[in-house]
């Protein structure tokens, strides 16, 4: 079968797989309210199907059209204020009712949550006419993905054979997709994808020519881009893997986030929408899958280049390990300990982890051994500390808590070549010095972390995840 490489062919393949294989519904522009940026038809069907009693309370029976309009306005205003991810996770209040707009799978034992999660409605609209601006009402977007009538992802598709590529898709977003349109306003969607048959990029905040697109590729031969796919397209992983219903549910529940950043000089606070890059999504999911399959007691080394979002990857891994349960519904680990080699803890990691955790009290920052001991004893879900406390961590976990299981994440980011990491890790993990230790001063931090992790048996009741820059 010959692959259709035209733009429409790319669109056809994406939509066909989502609808015919993955169970998406195929929507139409007529279902879409441009002003509210909602697929009203599917949103109301989802609410009627799952929360009829709440609709009775809020809208009466039969439904009061005026109240319905106000309720939909409330949904839109809450998305504008809080962001689509927060609204999908936490729902919306209207009058005396509370509406859940997206069901997450819940814990292993929570069969009711899994049942409701299966009622989520995933849909795709192609050639979506989105514009409310006068004279632009015929403008159409190639693809938009929705969950329960709420848009979460947009896509512009191009192809190489017709001499258009991902750069043209990026330019289209920058020059022809008005960020003032409801669909394209900040936080209304998780991400906007520019895609051709070879590469993909995404942007979390459209702002005209300043819109910044990051690569969303699998990598090929230790470099950029994507590997060839026999009989298929290099970018088909996007819809077959990333946009698949289980994957998108996972991204909404565990990865996407609106984080607040504070300028240390001015004190000004700004919002930043976070969406995982492919390598982050892939790495974190593979680590979690390994822990689920093989249990606690293994060691992992993650090579994460500077500037590629390592702090976020650590935060995603930490909070998902802390929430992981086994087949019986018990926590896989008692605590997740995040260790940094910097005396002054990277503020980004600390704040990112806290913002990803839904309950901030589950995260503790241990500056002293006494705090660390108390957090370990109390089962604090995530404990953040420095490498200087590492000897105490190993001793306490190995002695007082040998019957419990732990995950230890070691952040080696931005270490200098001075040997400070070498010394700290050596003191923490080696009982005695050997003749070969003198060469540690000549090794770079990545070699040191790898060698130390592989050099001796570590605690069997802990898994180690070392992130190197």
Give the least confident one: 208-212, 355-359, 385-389. 355-359
- Same domain, yes or no, for 38 and 177? yes
Confidence of residue 431 (pLDDT cuts 50, 70, 90): very low
Q: What is the pLDDT of residue 434?
A: 42
Query: Domain check: are 418 and 370 in the same one?
Result: yes
Residues 177 and 108 in one domain: yes
Residue 419's domain is classified under what CATH number? Answer: 3.40.50.300
Whether residue 264 is contained in a domain is answered as no
Q: Cα(71)–Cα(93) distance, rounded to whole angstroms? A: 9
Say if 263 falls within a structural domain: no
Buried b or exposed e, range 244-263, using 16+ CB within 10 angstroms: bbebbbbbbbbbbbbbeeee
Judgement on whether residues 244 and 304 belong to the same structural domain of the protein: no
Domain that holds residue 132: 7-248
Question: Does 227 reside within a domain?
Answer: yes
Q: Give a yes or no: residue 456 inside a domain.
A: yes
Residue 347 lies in a domain: yes
Is the bond leading into 62 cis (omega within 30 degrees of zero)? yes
pLDDT tens, position by position, 181-233: 999 999 999 999 999 999 999 999 999 999 999 999 999 988 889 999 999 99
Mean residue pLDDT of the chain comes to: 86
Residues in the chain: 469
Say whether both 349 and 234 belong to one domain.
no
Residue 249 has pLDDT above 80, yes or no: yes
C-alpha span between 334 and 337 (Å, rounded): 10
- Mark whether 99 and 194 lie in a shared domain: yes
pLDDT value for 447: 60
- Work out the percent of the chain whose per-residue pLDDT is above 90: 62
Residue 241 shares a structural domain with residue 287: no
pLDDT per position as a tens digit, 85-99:
999 999 999 999 999
Confidence category of residue 348, pLDDT binned at 50, 70, 90:
low
Q: Which residue has the higher pLDDT, 382 or 345?
A: 382
In this structure, the answer to whether residues 209 and 282 fall within a common structural domain is no
Domain end (from 248, 265, 296): 248
Distance from C-alpha of 88 to C-alpha of 148, rounded to nearest angstrom: 9
The rounded distance, in Å, linking the Cα atoms of 337 and 405 is: 11
Structural contact between residues 85 and 259, judged by C-beta atoms closer than 8 angstroms: no
Output the pLDDT for position 137.
86
Whether residue 149 is found in the same domain as residue 287: no
CB atoms within 10 A of CB 102: 23
End residue of a domain, out of 229, 248, 267: 248
CA distance linking residue 221 with residue 212, whole number of Å? 26
Residue 459 DSSP code:
-
Same domain, 180 and 297: no
pLDDT tens string 35-76: 999 999 999 999 999 999 999 999 999 999 999 999 999 999
Domain total for the chain? 2
């Amino acid at each position: 079968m010959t692959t259709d490489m035209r733009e429409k062919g790319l669109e056809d393949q994406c939509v066909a797989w989502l609808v015919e294989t993955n169970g998406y519904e195929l929507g139409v522009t007529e279902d879409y309210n441009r002003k509210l940026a909602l697929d009203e038809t599917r949103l109301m069907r989802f609410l009627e199907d799952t929360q009829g009693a709440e609709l009775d309370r809020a809208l009466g029976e039969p439904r009061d059209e005026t109240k319905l309009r106000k309720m939909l306005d409330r949904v839109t205003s809450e998305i504008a204020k809080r962001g689509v991810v927060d609204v999908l996770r936490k729902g919306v209040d209207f009058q005396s009712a509370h509406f859940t707009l997206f069901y997450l799978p819940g814990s292993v034992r929570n069969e009711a949550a899994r049942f409701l999660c299966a009622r989520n409605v995933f849909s795709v609209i192609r050639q979506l006419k989105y514009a409310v601006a006068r004279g632009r009402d015929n403008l159409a977007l190639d693809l938009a993905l929705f969950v329960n009538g709420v848009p979460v992802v947009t896509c512009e598709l191009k192809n190489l054979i017709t001499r258009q590529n991902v750069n043209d898709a990026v330019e289209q977003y920058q020059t022809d997709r008005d960020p003032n349109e409801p669909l394209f306003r900040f936080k209304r969607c998780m991400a906007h994808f520019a895609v051709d048959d070879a590469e993909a990029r995404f942007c979390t905040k459209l702002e005209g020519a300043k819109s910044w697109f990051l690569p969303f590729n699998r990598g090929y031969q230790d470099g950029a881009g994507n590997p060839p796919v026999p009989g298929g397209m290099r970018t088909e992983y996007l819809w077959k893997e990333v946009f698949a219903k289980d994957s998108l549910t996972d991204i909404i529940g565990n990865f996407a986030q609106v984080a607040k950043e504070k300028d240390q000089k001015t004190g000004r606070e700004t919002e930043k929408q976070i969406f995982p890059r492919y390598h982050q999504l892939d790495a974190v999911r593979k680590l979690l899958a390994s822990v689920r399959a093989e249990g606690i007691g293994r060691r992992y080394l993650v090579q994460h280049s500077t500037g590629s979002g390592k702090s976020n990857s650590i935060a995603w891994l930490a909070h998902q390990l802390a929430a992981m349960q086994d087949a019986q519904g018990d926590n896989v680990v008692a605590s997740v300990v995040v260790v940094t080699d910097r005396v002054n803890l990277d503020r980004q990691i600390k704040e990112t982890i806290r913002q990803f955790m839904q309950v901030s009290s589950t995260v503790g920052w241990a500056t002293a051994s006494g705090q660390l001991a108390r957090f370990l004893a109390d089962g604090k879900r995530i404990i953040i500390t420095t490498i200087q406390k590492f000897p105490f961590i190993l001793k306490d976990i190995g002695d007082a808590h040998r019957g419990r299981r732990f995950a230890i994440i070691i952040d080696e980011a931005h270490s200098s070549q001075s040997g400070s990491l070498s010394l700290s890790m050596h003191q923490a993990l080696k009982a005695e010095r050997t003749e070969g230790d003198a060469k540690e001063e000549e090794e770079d931090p990545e070699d040191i972390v790898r060698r130390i992790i592989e050099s001796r048996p570590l605690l069997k009741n802990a898994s180690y995840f070392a992130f190197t820059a």
